[in-house]
Chain A
Amino acid sequence: MNGADPEMVVEGLVEMGSSGPRLIGSHCLGCGTLYFPQMPGCPNPDCHDKRLERTLLPDEGTLYSYTIQRYQPPPLFRMDDWAPYVLGLVDLGAGLRVMGMLSGIGENEVEIGMKLRLAVESLYRDAERGDVCTYMFAAAGDRA
């Protein structure tokens, strides 16, 4: 991580690349399965190799389903100016579906099948750490 990289709420999930953030997952050398987050092993019963390598996952996908989190979660979740937000399940291809908050998409705009792109957004501002961020999914056209 260099000084320009955002402070993440938890390390090891996202890598900042030149073309934007990417989720860090595992790729099984035996059966080709993609996993997120990184896995200690490959649980596919048809896979007999099970050696995993770190990989960067696709940064675009489609919304498979979603909900709106209306109640403030327990304190382990921290967010400035808490308000209900959209939680999505995003199909990244190859059978991999990843859950995450949606960014910049209101509850009246969210639609199953919409194209999304990985983003990194601030959850809260901490006196020592500054902006603390998590991965989210934004409308795919937003960065153009």
Chain B
Amino acid sequence: MRPVYALGAGVHPWGKWPDKPQLQLALEAMDTALADAGVAWPDVQALAAASSRFEGGMGWGLHANEVVQAVAEQGMPCINVGGACAAGVIALQSAYSLIASGQYDVVAALGAERMPKGFIPRPPGSKDDRTDNDYLRWVTMGATNPAYWAIEARRRQHDHGTTAETLAKASVLMRRNAAGNRYARYRDPVGVEEVFASPMVADPLHLLQICPVSDGAAAVILGSEDFVKRSGKPAVRVAGCAVGSGQFGDPARRIPTIATTVREGIPHTSEVAGAVRRAFDMAGVAPKDIDVLEMADNTAWHILAWPELFGFYEPGQGDWMLENGKLAIDGEIAVNPSGGFLSFGEATTAQALLQVTEILWQLRGQAEGHQVSDAKVGMTAVLGLGANGGSVILTR
């Protein structure tokens, strides 16, 4: 396998953009990424795009094809990948493989999303189907996504004594980080009192402890070592890039299932934990080497629990780490210096590429307003419906 580099990245700011179709968000993110990489469309040899079920893609998830038909009809392969909230990292994995294999030298990965308002519903027109968990969870008990995360959070309180205040402080940290990030949607800092004053959605999680939904787009341009040498541009190494799916017996309360068969010794959220482990192995690094972690904080609970699941520290220690400032931008390991999903809102299929973009900027020292001092190794971790997990490690 050949080494792979991140040449550049671009983001369309997260928010609500009622006047911009999904394709427009995609094109703007691509333009920004190409300029950042110092390349142009004729240099791009393949495009891997995350497929959305909400908009665009001609109804078939053909989001890469829509982009090239708009701006780059040059015969390139269009790879459209599903993976729900992890689709962006699967697109990146596809682009990575095309370069690592030696087939191409410059490949783009793209995710762009406009989200419907409110709780994510079943796809319109879905038939009543009692073999479909996403049907069963609604009709039998009305279990919203936050209810699944809340059940995890409540159990953590039971197992580790996590207090409501600590859970609130996770949101406070994310909003404090976002204050310095011009791409984030929610940039006003909040205090513990404001978190508690926000409506309870699913105990113990308040509105400000659950990621909203947003529109946004992100693109990353990858290149081969040959290309990097030829172009003479500084590039950051993609040292680890792994995707995977879940393991039998995983105790996570996996959306949208209504039951779980649990087996001893299987990691919680195994699809992500497994991808993280493989990314560590590929990169030849360990948790102690990571300066900055961008992880999917669908809720405040994730901020406390996920680094533990990945072996950064012992189960239950996340509370102490957060309370003592160890997860802050100037802490031991900066968790979501971007502000995370809690400050961006989730633009599902674009989110994983936003994470990679953030790590790239951190390693270049370009994370204006929320820079982690001298960041050398950064990691992403993301989870998607269907037990899709992915993780990327960048090094300089």
Contacts and interface: CB of A to CB of B under 8 A. Distances in A.
A32 B213 CA distance: 41
Given A12-B130, A65-B152, A97 B201 contact: no
B131 interface: yes
Contact of A68 (B121, B122, B158, B203): B203
Contact of A100 (B138, B141, B257): B141
Contact of B141 (A40, A72, A96, A101): A101
A89 B253 contact: yes
A4 interface: no
Interface string A26-67: 000000011111001001110000000000000000001111
Interface residues of A, number: 42
Contact of B151 (A65, A70, A98, A135): A65
A35 B261 contact: yes
Interface in B120-165: 121-122, 128, 130-131, 135-144, 147, 150-155, 158
Contacts of B128: 10
Interface residues of B, number: 44
Contact of A35 (B118, B201, B205, B259): B259
Contact of A76 (B131, B139, B151): B139
Contacts of B262: 95-97
A66 B151 CA distance: 5
B147 A76 contact: no
Interface string B250-268: 0101000111111100000
19 contacts: A10-B130, A10-B136, A13-B136, A33-B261, A44-B249, A64-B155, A65-B152, A65-B154, A66-B151, A67-B203, A70-B201, A70-B203, A74-B118, A95-B263, A96-B259, A99-B258, A100-B258, A101-B141, A134-B139
Interface of B: 118-119, 121-122, 128, 130-131, 135-144, 147, 150-155, 158, 199-205, 247-249, 251, 253, 257-263
